[in-house]
Amino acid sequence: MAAQCVTKVELTVSCDNLLDRDIGSKSDPLCVLLMSSSDSQWYEVERTEKVQNCLSPKFAKKFAIDYYFEIVQKLKFGIYDIDNKTIDLSDDDFLGELECTLGQVVSSKKLTRPLIMKNKHPAGKGTITISAEEIKDNRVVNFEAEARKLDNKDFFGKSDPYLEFYKQTATGWQLAHRTEVVKNNLNPTWRPFRIPLQSLCGADMDKPIKVECYDYDNDGSHDLIGSFETTMTRLQEASRTSPAEFECINSKKKQKKKGYRNSGVVSVKLCQVVKEYTFLDYIMGGCQINFTVAIDFTGSNGDPRSPQSLHYISPQGVNEYLSAIWSVGNVIQDYDSDKMFPAFGFGAQIPPTWQVSHEFPLNFNPSNPFCAGVEGIVEAYRVCLPQVKLYGPTNFSPIINHVACFAKQALQQTTASQYFVLLIITDGVITDMDETRNAIVSASRLPMSIIIIGVGGADFSAMEFLDGDDGRLRSLSGEPAMRDIVQFVPFRQFKNAPCQALAQSVLAELPQQVASFFTLMKLKPPHDPNPS
């Protein structure tokens, strides 16, 4: 019997007394969550934000994971000091880790343990604390906030303010959200933000919420400007014409200064509770996932007849391209009702004219490039391979723009009816990097995600740049991507892992990408997933 997901659990992570690996400043820690697949291979699920210059970080980003009562779900929390912009953590300083099970965290509610180094010795005095809470309520709160006349904490220039929202728990205040920093401004307006209702107040509208306003400092010694306490009941009185206003009080200043009034006023212009649909809500409500495959037929793969070639099909009938198609396609095809998938090649000379093409159908039928199921894609690939001449260059933008055309048409509908996933399997360096960047930035505004799997042993650093985990990808003109839609993994990391590990890794971000896109565009599922 398949495991039944009992509930979703939200994990909040904080650390104390981390090792200091930076000379002249403090470590810049980040937490990565790994889970173990059925055969004990670890795969990455998600990362928190990086907290600059801090040895006792409270991470604002939370991990939401499915909890299966009958399965031992092994978790590994790794803490790293981030020194560069690469996605790969092997070149960052490791500050310690904790291995435990989700069951241990859930049964403790709050688990504090020493961090352990790879050699199993303690990581100095470092500890990690994980708090677990069941997600029973999928409503979120949309906020718009600004402030005026904040105290100036900076000697040169003005304060750099940001807000922190805290939820009251039995063991004290727990960070629920941190806004961005507005530089050099005593009257800041923060970007609109959203906080899950459960993270903010446990869905209790009268539970106290604490808001602190800080002046950001690069060295991590952020100065408290002031704070206030409120409730959702009070916050919901806010409107753009009549904001909910709160005096920021600095208790130290209040004690010292006669006639002290406040350290500025925070003004909430919008506090709106909305239902947030999950990925499953969209799927069960009729959203179709459209899966397209694009395969690299450039010369750098090597002659398909040679066993050294990445396109060489072994006597067992496999190669890395086929393994990647099977692994990812098998999971995605369950979410597509007709299971008809367009499949393309790029970078080859194709008959009869032997012109180079960067988006040719594997079945050579431009008016009907569809293959029946994953088996159909595999069969089309095998038939196509001996009929084309591997060539070049490695251009991604034509196939990205091709799928984007269909995604753009789907967006003209008024519901979340379709989402497009493009799987690109490639052996190397992109030739049209600038055009590809532009294509990805445009596609980030459409119901579309791109998965890139790198096969072979090439240098894939350019691909990691496209996977915007370490910062927003920008087009040539400087326009930022609206969201991160690219997930890149090198196949070699999964060479000895079971086939499901690759799919788990590349598809981990997809449900979130689907749900967050439709939420952002305020699109509902075609029909109600939970009719009462």
In a domain, 215, yes or no: yes
CATH of the domain at 347: 3.40.50.410
Cis peptide before 393 (omega within 30 of 0): yes
Which of 120, 100, 71 minimizes the C-alpha distance to 11?
100
Does residue 410 belong to any structural domain of this protein? yes
Residues 514 and 372 in one domain: yes
Q: Does 356 share its domain with 212? A: no
- What CATH number does the domain containing 258 carry? 2.60.40.150
- Among 134, 151, 183, residue at a domain's last position: 134
Asked whether residue 531 is assigned to any structural domain, the reply reads no
Residue type at 162 in one-letter notation: Y
Alpha helices (H) along 113-223: 197-201
Same domain, 447 and 482: yes
> Which residues 6+ apart lie within 8 Å of 367 measured at CB?
none
- If asked whether residues 262 and 291 sit together in one domain, one would say no
pLDDT confidence of residue 106? 85
Helix (H, G, I), strand (E, B) or coil at 228: strand
Rounded to 10°, the helix 320-332/499-507 angle is: 60
Task: Tell which residue, 120, 48, 38, 110, has the closest CA to residue 77.
Answer: 48
Same domain, 352 and 460: yes
Domain extent at residue 422? 280-520
Predicted local distance difference test score (pLDDT) of residue 7: 74
Does residue 526 lie within any of the structural domains?
no
Q: Given CA atoms 327, 332, 334, 337 in this order, what sign does their dihedral have?
A: negative
Residues 436 and 505 in one domain: yes
List CB contacts of 239: < 8 A, sequence separation 6 or more.
269, 270
Nearest to 508 by CA among 142, 186, 43: 43
527 found inside a domain: no
Q: Is 252 helix (H, G, I), strand (E, B) or coil?
A: helix
Same-domain status, 380 and 255: no
What is d(CA 161, CA 247) in angstroms, rounded to the nearest whole number?
A: 15
Q: What is the pLDDT of residue 466?
A: 78
pTM of the model: 0.66
Task: Decide if 260 is inside a domain.
Answer: yes
Residues in the chain, overall count: 532
- Omega prior to 122 cis, within 30 of 0: no
70 plus 192 within the same structural domain: no
Cβ proximity of 158 and 51 under 8 Å = no
The SS3 assignment for 266 reads strand
| Same domain, residue pair 474 and 493 | yes
- What φ, ψ does residue 450 adopt, rounded to 5°? -125, 130
For the chain, which ranges sit under pLDDT 50? 1-3, 532
Does residue 423 share a domain with residue 320?
A: yes
Q: For residue 525, is it within any domain?
A: no
Q: Minimal CA–CA distance to 454: which of 290, 300, 331?
A: 300
- Are residues 457 and 383 located together in one domain of the fold? yes
- Could you say which of 74, 107, 134 is where a domain stops? 134
- Please give the pLDDT value at position 214: 98
Pairing mode, if any, of strands 223-230 and 209-215? antiparallel
Same-domain pairing of 170 and 309: no
**Within a domain: residue 529?**
no
Q: Are 137 and 119 in contact (CB under 8 A)?
A: no
Identify the H or E element spanning 346: strand 340-346
pLDDT at 154: 78
Query: Based on the structure, what is the number of domains in the chain?
Result: 3
State residue 532's pLDDT score.
46
Domain-terminating residue out of 86, 111, 134: 134
- Cα-based distances in Å from 18 to 63, 81, 116, 412: 21, 10, 11, 50
Phi, psi of 58 (to 5 degrees): -110, 115
**pLDDT at site 1:** 32
